[in-house]
Structure 1
């Protein structure tokens, strides 16, 4: 069983994708979950100031805000707009008191095959954004996505690549996300978790299901329903010095169509048993 029960459990808003923000918060309150992971679009729809007040008044931590990033545009106008949007995301994360802003860095621009160039533009953008984030008390968290997303969502495919980009910056400026769905397969995973140490800014869990659905974004499963061996990864993250929340983030149509209380009760049982 996880030390401290659910004291370091966080419910990511996407796990209850069809619920309103007040409904997500209510589930946290009902079950004693102390933290929530938020997404920018539903927060914006509810109202940023209102969302911040709702979370704070219910005594919840914001374990992360998702997402910034998409930094790989290959035109000056596209790069400038990406920087503007990410500064807005940093401002929003600061208003919410989020522990970090998750960055999904972006894939290849339309028609491009220049993977190295795209990664270099991410590096350049971090140089612009990291000082701004630090001034606002927000840590940027680079998330490596599974290689199947390299072309359209994230040109960072391994924790090693994310750390290579993060390490020129202080840990307070740029950290990394360890998301089991994206990194469980990596033969260098445990070596890179040890390397990351306290640069780990977010730990997200869900399972890898097979067969994957036609929309591979929706292939995340409840812990225990797929192929990932969670305890060794959780122990490696703990040994590395991570003391933050374990955030359950699931994109799955069957989960989304299940009553929210049932999803959250199952999530807690699996978290306590498996992670």
Structure 2
């Protein structure tokens, strides 16, 4: 397993971690000051600065991407909605390519309308089929563009609203069905916040291997968790066995960035400088 204690060169920052404090251009500058070599930005943050402007700023600072957030949300109540989702994912793929991202992360979607408390239907099987069909269509376009897709399984508590793929095993089943040759164009984004609890986690990480492990996200699970979305913990403040999990990921062949992604009202209410400095410190001590 790699030694992180001497430097934070393997640290990437998911820009959601300080989205309430700073705009994306400021985030890039602050990362450059701290020699944070990689980020994973969100589409709305990129849009607020401008796609070409973001690409230029990344080139100027030498910062690369560890991923691009996000595509997905394939489910819809009707055919028109399904087609609109495919169009949006094509745009996301193009944006990821412009920014030279190594992958586009997919949060696949679930029961349409559930996020606002008005699900259009309750058939989770239908949602999962729409997701599989949507990924298949996006994969065809992604192959032409040369942009790998990374399915992110989300914790079961978000199965209704955000993602109906909830285990690494399920995500890999879809990868095997759609990309049996393991071409490197379809894999997973492994976010420990969502999968740390899975009794099959080590086994499925081994199954994924280097070809499927396209991104690796870290934070911590607090006890008690007070909010299902915005109460993630800083690494070391919760119960996830971070080093053990990283040992499994690296034993499977992953050698990329460990991307810090923290949705937290607590950390959003602290100065951005403090958040980044804490991320660096925890990355070298507990990740």
Q: TM-score, normalised by structure 2?
A: 0.93
Distance 1:50 1:158 in 2: 37
Alignment counterpart, residue 128 of structure 2, candidates 103, 106, 119: 119
C-alpha contact 1:67 1:104 (8 A) present in aligned 2: yes
Alignment counterpart, residue 38 of structure 2, candidates 35, 38, 47: 35
Distance 1:147 1:171 in 2: 29
- Call closer, same or farther: CA 1:257–1:140 in 2, change over 3 Å: same
Matched, 1:50 2:56: no
Alignment counterpart, residue 108 of structure 1, candidates 93, 98, 111: 111
Alignment counterpart, residue 69 of structure 2, candidates 59, 62, 66: 66
Secondary structure of the residue that 1:217 maps to in structure 2? coil
Distance 2:90 2:162 in 1: 20
Q: TM-score, normalised by structure 1?
A: 0.97
Distance 2:131 2:77 in 1: 11
Who is 2:16 aligned against?
14
Matched, 1:241 2:241: no
Unaligned 5+ segments in structure 1 are: none
Distance 2:109 2:31 in 1: 31
Structure 1 position 4, deviation (Å)? 6.5
Structure 1 position 128, deviation (Å)? 0.9
User: What are the Cα deviations for residues 37-87 of structure 1, in whole angstroms up to 9, with x where unaligned?
Assistant: 110001011100001111111001111110100012241101100000000
The CA RMSD over aligned residues, in Å, is 1.2
Structure 1 position 3, deviation (Å)? 6.9
1:139-150 → structure 2 map (5 Å cutoff)? 139-150=148-159
Distance 1:188 1:260 in 2: 36
Higher mean alpha-carbon deviation, 167-176 vs 246-255, is at: 167-176
Unaligned 5+ segments in structure 2 are: 113-118
Number of aligned residues: 274
Who is 1:266 aligned against?
278
